[in-house]
Amino acid sequence: MRIFIFLLMGILLGFTSGCKSKKPKVDTNADAKKQTPATITPAATNETPVQNLKRNAVARTGTGSKLRQVYDALELYANDNNGKYPPPYTKSAQGAPLLSWRVLILPYIEQQNLFNKFNQNEPWDGPTNKPLLSYMPKIYLSSGNSEVNSEFKTTFLAPVAKETVFSPAGGVTKNSISDGLSNTILVADVDDDFATEWTRPVDLNVNSQNPALGLINSNPAGFMALFCDGSVKVAPNRPLPNVWAMFTIGGGEQVNP
């Protein structure tokens, strides 16, 4: 009898031990599944492919918004000056360029105190005016290039020629823009190589032979421009006759923006 009981206990113990040693099945691919990110195809994103990283990077700094602020300032300046836009630069009694139009519109971008610090009879790099370079308003901070910004330069330049809004003679009014406000450029966002100190009386000297000079490296598709109706668009930098047509105020050319 005792022998039977011992045999029965041995069988029960062996069965119990077998149950405890049984382990659940392990998925050997589990760690790999956790580490492998989900794949998103371009079609699933519905996003337009980025064509020019440099210009898109600049756009993210608010280029369009800043150009519209420039437009508002130019409009306010014209309202206070018998409808006339500012000249490209102020001049000394002898006719030498002194300060950029970007200085003249300071009171209209809430920078009256900074405007008052300038000596209007001194050139931009004179002893009083040159130290004011470092007070560059954020509205003119237009480039994604740190070297350009560290030198207090801007890429917001006016097209200058006797046929443009910023004629060297000055005194151009909105009523004299017979080509149409939406077809005529006020200010262009130029290539970094053409950037200039924001107070310096230097802009984009344009001509009918090579009007796209300074406007072709930042984006092969075109350049950002502020038009006389306040719109900001990417203007095509080809064909050249079309670029020139967008700069002139009364040439009567066909414009295809």
Residues 79 and 56: their CA atoms lie apart, in Å, by 34
Mean pLDDT (the chain) is 81
- The structure's pTM equals 0.76
> In this structure, what token pair is assigned to residue 235?
């203007």
* Spatial distance between the Cα atoms of 50 and 120, rounded to a whole number of angstroms: 45
- DSSP assigned state of 85: P
pLDDT tier for residue 103 given thresholds of 50, 70 and 90: very high
Higher pLDDT, 54 or 64: 64
CB 90 within 8 A of CB 171: no
- Angle (CA) 196 54 195, round 5°: 5
CB neighbours of 69 closer than 8 A, spacing ≥ 6? 109, 139
Is the predicted pLDDT of residue 155 greater than 80, yes or no?
yes
> What is the average per-residue pLDDT within 161-172?
95
Rounded to a whole number of angstroms, the distance between the first and last alpha carbons of the chain is 108
Which pLDDT belongs to residue 61? Answer: 54
Pairing of strands 156-157, 185-189: antiparallel
Q: Is the pLDDT of residue 45 over 50?
A: no
Phi first, then psi: give them for residue 84, nearest 5 degrees.
-95, 135
pLDDT at 36 over 60: no
- DSSP result, 14-62: HHHHHHHT--PPP-TTHHHHHHSPPP--HHHHT-PPPS-HHHHHHHTTT
Enumerate the β-bridge partners of residue 189: 156
Contact 255, 242 (CB under 8 A): yes
Neighbours of 70 (CB within 10 A): 24
Q: Give the pLDDT mean for 34-52.
A: 33
Query: Please, which pLDDT band fits residue 47 given cuts at 50, 70 and 90?
Result: very low
pLDDT of residue 17: 46
pLDDT at 217: 83
Share of residues in the chain with pLDDT > 70 (%): 74
Whether 110 has a pLDDT exceeding 80, the answer reads: yes
pLDDT at 257: 62
